[in-house]
Structure 1
Amino acid sequence: MLRIVVAPDSYKGSVSAMAVAEAMARGILQVFPTAEVRKIPIADGGEGTVQALVSATAGQLRVHEVSDPRGEKITAQWGVLGDGQSAVIEMAAASGLTLLNASRHDPRVTSTYGTGELIRAALDAGLRKIIIGIGGSATNDGGAGMARALGVRFTNAQGLELPAGGAALAQLQHIDLTGLDTRLLETEITVACDVDNPLCGARGASAVFGPQKGATPAVVAELDAALAHFAAHAQATTGRQVAELAGAGAAGGLGAGLLFFTPAKLSPGIDIVLDAVNFAEVVSDAAFVLTGEGHTDFQTAFGKAPVGVARIAKQFQVPVFCLSGGLGQGADAVLAQGIDAVLSICDRPMPLEECMHRGSALIEAASSRLCRIIRAVNVRAASATHDRAAALIQGLSASAGAAGD
C-alpha cells in the first residue's frame, strides 16, 4: 500500500498542527484515494509543543494562572507526560507573541516572568524532569523575568529591583542568586530550542527576532546593548559562558537565561518531538512527506520543524515537500536542508487576513495541486539508477488510478 506522511507544524494564528494535518490528508486523498496517510502533527519548541508531546505519550494537560508578557493574569496550559514524572512547558503559553495584540507588542518591556511561574508550578507538582519549549516569544529580556520568578534578584546601582523587560537590563548592576529555588539543583531541564542563534550581535536575539516583536532599528540596537550588558554580569555572577552558544538567543534570550540560572541543556526542539513520536519508524517506508508552517523564510533553515522533518526523511531517501502559508526572504535556503520543494498555499494574491481565515481550505487545495504534479512526474529516465524513486512513483500511479482523473 502507498504510504504518505503529513508532518506539519501549526500555521500560527490560523490553523493548529492537527488541523493542518487533516487538511493535507484531505487534499492527498483527492488524488491518491487508496493511499494510507499517516498524520503526525509536530512542533519545534513553539506553539503546539505541549499538545504534541502529551498526545504522543498519552499524558495529561494541566493549567496554571500566570503573568502574560505585560504582567496581566492569564491561564496557561502545560502538560505531564505519560511517564507521570516529566513536565512539558511552552513559554509561548505564558510569554508568547500571540498573547498580545499588535498594539501591545513592545520587547523593551515584555517579560518571561510567566514562564518562570510555569517552571515553579512543575516543581511544586513534584516533577524533576522538565521539557521547556521556547519558541514564539513576545520577549527580549534574556530570561531575566523567568529567573526572577524563580528567586533571582536583579538590581540597579541604587539597589532597586529592575523593572520588567529587556530595556531595563541596561541599568543592571547586581545579580543576587541567594533566593534561587534550590529544587532546580535536583531537576533535569531540557530546552526545546527551534533556532541556533547566539544571544547578541548580527544573528542575535534582538537583531533577528526583535523586529517581529515590534522593535524598530533603534530599539534593536538598544536591546542588543542591554543584553550584552546583562550577559557580562550574568557570566561574572554564575561563572558560565553561554552568550555565544547556539540557541542562547532563542526566545529573546530565554535560552541564555535558562543556561545561566538553571541546569538546563539546549536541544533542537523538533528533535525532541520527532523522537517522542518515533518519526524515523513512521517515515522509513513513506512515498513522500508533506510538511509545512505558517511562514517559511531564512529562519526556517536554522532548524525549525520542516527542516527537522526533512533531516530524518532523507535518511531513508524519502522526498519532502513543504507547504507554507507564505514565503519570505531566504525561503529557498531550506532546499539545502533536505526539502525538495517549498510552495505557498496561496493560489492568488490575497490579504493576509483572508489567507489566515481560509487556512484549512487553502492547505487542502494546495496539497491536492501538489499531488497532481507528483502523479504527473515521468521518472522513466531515472529508473535505471534510482530504483527506489521509480518504485515509489509506480506506486503513486497505481494508487491514483482509482481516482479516474
Structure 2
Amino acid sequence: MIVCAPDSFKGSAGAPAAAAALARGAAQVFPTATITQLPFADGGEGTLEALLAVWGTPERTVSVVDALGRETTARYGLSADGTTAVIEAAQANGLPQVSDVALQPERADTFGVGLIAARALDDGVEEILLCIGGSASTDGGTGIARALGAVFRDSAGDPIAAGGGGLSALAAIDDTGLDPRATAVRWRIAVDVDNPLTGPRGAAAVFGPQKGADPEAVARLDSGLAHLAEVLAGSGDAARLTDTPGFGAAGGIPLTLTALLGAEVVPGSRMVAEAVGLAEALSGADLVLTGEGSFDSQSLGGKVVAAVRDHAPASASIVVVAGRVGLTPAECREAGITAALSIAPGPADLAELSERAEELIEATAAHACALVAAGHQPASAGH
C-alpha cells in the first residue's frame, strides 16, 4: 500500500493538489497498487483546506470583522460527523486583510476570530481546532473572549479599548456573560512556535515589528500582555502564564483561551495527525510519499514530514518530494528518511517551479517510485 501524505507547497500547490499529484506519479509505476491520498498540514496555513479534503466536507462561510473591525467573511470547516470545527484564525485577524491601510498594532484584535467560533458553536460542535498564525493582533486573545461574551473592564467599570493597546488599563474580567457553550466544548490551539508570552522572545518583541509596532509600541504591548496575565492569574502564579512556551504565538491568543476556556495548546502537526487519523492511515503502508515546499532541518522538528515519519511503520520506505532539498543523503538516512528528491528538473527560478508544481511533483513521484520498484515492490502492488 502506498500513502501520499504531503504538506502544501506554499504558493504553488495546496496539500490536496500535492497529494493528488504524488498519487498520479505513484500510479504510473504501480498501477494496481492501493494508493491513499492524505493531505496533511502542521496547524498553520493550509490546515483548513487539508482537513476538509480528508473529511470530505465543504467549507462554510460566516460574516465577521477583520483585525480592525471592518466587515468581511471568513471560511471554516466541520468534520463529517459535525462534532469538530476547524478555524484558521488568520481568516479574521490576518495581516493580509489589513494590508490596504497603515498597520495599527495596538488597535488590532481577535474579535472576528471569536465570531467564527460563535458560529461553530451554533453548529453544535463539541470541539474547536483553532489554528493560529499570521495574525495582525497582539491582544492576548481577549478579542475572541469578548466575542463570546466576556467583558474586560477598567478601574471605573467601563470596557477597555479593543486590542493590545488597551490591556494596561485592565482591572477586572467579567465572565458572567460568557457563552456557556464556549466553556463546554474542547478547545485545542495549534502552535508551531515555542515563544513565551512576554520578554525578549515574547509575542510583542519578536512578532510585533512585523505587525507595525515600533520599539515604543512593542514595550507597551509587552507590558499589557504581562498585566493581562497578572489579572488572569489572580492570586496565582502569573509567571506560569508569561513563561509558558507557545503562549507567545499569534499575539498571545493562547493566554486568555487557556485561562477562561480551558483550551489546550498542542503542536499543530500532532493535532492534525489526530484529526485525520494519520496513524491508522499509515499502519499498513509499504511506501509513504510526503513532501513540502522546502525540506530542511526545520522539517524534522514538529513539521509535517516529521509527523509522517513518526507515525509510519518501521518497515515502510519514506520518500520526501520537495521544491528544495536542504539535507544530505546521510542526514536523511540519519533522520529516518529513505530519500528526498527535489522537483526541480534543472536550473529554474521559483516562479517557473511554482507554475509547474503539480506536474513536477507528479514526475518526481514517478521517479521515486521507479527507484523503489527497482529494489522492492510494495506488498499490495498487483493485489
2:117 is aligned to: 119
What SS does structure 1 have at the residue aligned with 2:125? coil
Cα distance in 2, alignment partners of residues 305 and 115 from structure 1:
25
- 2: CA distance, partners of 1:224 / 1:334: 40
Distance 2:104 2:302 in 1: 26
Equivalent position of 1:386 in the other structure: none
Does 2:264 align with 1:265? yes
- The 3-state SS of whatever aligns with 2:196 is coil
CA distance in 2, matches of 1:214, 1:365: 42
Residue identity opposite 2:181 in structure 1: R
Which residues of structure 1 form unaligned runs of 5+?
377-392, 401-405
Question: Is the alpha carbon distance of 1:26 and 1:229 closer, same or farther for their aligned partners in structure 2, counting shifts above 3 Å?
Answer: same
Q: 2:3 aligns with which of 5, 10, 14?
A: 5
Range moving further from structure 2, 207-216 or 56-65: 207-216
Q: Is the 8 A contact 1:6 1:37 kept in 2?
A: yes
Give the secondary structure class of the aligned counterpart of 2:310: helix
Counterpart of 2:234 in 1: which secondary structure?
helix
Counterpart contact for 2:40–2:272, Cα < 8 Å: yes
- Judge conservation of contact 1:307–1:338 (CA < 8 Å) in 2: no
Bigger shift: residues 248-257 or 30-39: 30-39
Return the offset for 1:118: 0.9
1:174 corresponds to which of 158, 164, 171 = 171
Q: Secondary structure at the match of 1:275?
A: helix
The Cα shift of 1:208 comes to 5.6
In structure 2, the residue matched to 1:357 is 355
Q: Decide which of 53, 72, 78 is 1:80's aligned counterpart.
A: 78
Which of 30-39 and 257-266 deviates more?
Answer: 30-39
- Which deviates further from its counterpart, 332-341 or 241-250? 332-341
Q: Sort the Cα spacing of 1:299 and 1:144 in 2 relative to 1 into closer, same or farther, 3 A.
A: farther
Deviation at 1:39, TM superposition (A): 0.9
1:163, 1:198 → 2: CA distance?
A: 24
1:335-371 Cα deviation digits (max 9, x unpaired): 8765455555444565544443333234334434544
Structure 1 residue 75 displacement after superposition: 1.7
- Alpha-carbon distance in 1 for matches of 2:5, 2:378: 19
Contact 2:160 2:167 in 1 (8 A): no
Report if aligned partners of 1:60, 1:81 keep a CA contact under 8 Å in 2: no
Partner residue in 1 for 2:286: 287
Q: CA deviation at 1:309?
A: 1.5
Q: 1:111 deviation in Å?
A: 2.6
Root-mean-square deviation (CA), in Å? 4.0
AA of the residue aligned to 1:267: V
**Who is 1:27 aligned against?**
25
**One-letter amino acid matched to 2:284:** D
Distance 1:265 1:360 in 2: 36
Give the C-alpha shift of residue 7 in structure 1: 0.6
SS of residue paired to 1:242: helix
Deviates more, 1:255-264 or 1:169-178: 169-178
- Which shows bigger deviation, 13-22 or 222-231? 222-231
1:188 to 172, 186, 209: 186
Give the TM-score normalised by structure 2. 0.78
Q: Is the 8 A contact 1:143 1:257 kept in 2?
A: yes
Q: Which residue of structure 2 lines up, in the alignment, with residue 395 of structure 1?
A: 377
- Which stretch shows the higher mean deviation, 341-350 or 61-70? 341-350
Cα distance between partner residues in 2 of 1:29 and 1:221: 56
Out of 91, 94, 117, the position equivalent to 1:93 is 91
Q: Which whole-Å CA distance do the structure 2 matches of 1:172 and 1:302 have between them?
A: 39
User: What is residue 248 of structure 2 aligned with on the other side?
Assistant: 249
Match of 2:43 among 32, 42, 45: 45
Q: Deviations over 1:310-357 (max 9, x none)?
A: 2111x534333333445689xx99987654555554445655444433
Scaled by the length of structure 1, the TM-score of the pair is: 0.75
Count of aligned residue pairs for this structure pair: 378
**How has the CA–CA distance of structure 1 residues 35 and 115 changed in structure 2, closer, same or farther, with 3 Å as cutoff?**
same
How far apart, in 2, do the equivalents of 1:100 and 1:353 lie?
26
Distance 1:103 1:365 in 2: 43
Render the CA deviation track for 1:17-68: whole Å, top value 9, x for unaligned.
Answer: 1101112223334455554432101223233434444454455642211112
| Contact in 1 for aligned 2:139/2:167 (Cα 8 Å) | no
Structure 2: gaps spanning 5 or more residues: none
Deviation at 1:76, TM superposition (A): 1.5
Structure 2 counterpart of 1:270, one-letter code: S
Local SS of the residue matching 1:5: strand
Residues 153 and 176, structure 1, Cα contact 8 Å, conserved in 2: yes
Contact 2:42 2:272 in 1 (8 A): yes
Query: Contact 1:288 / 1:320 at 8 angstroms: preserved in 2?
Result: yes
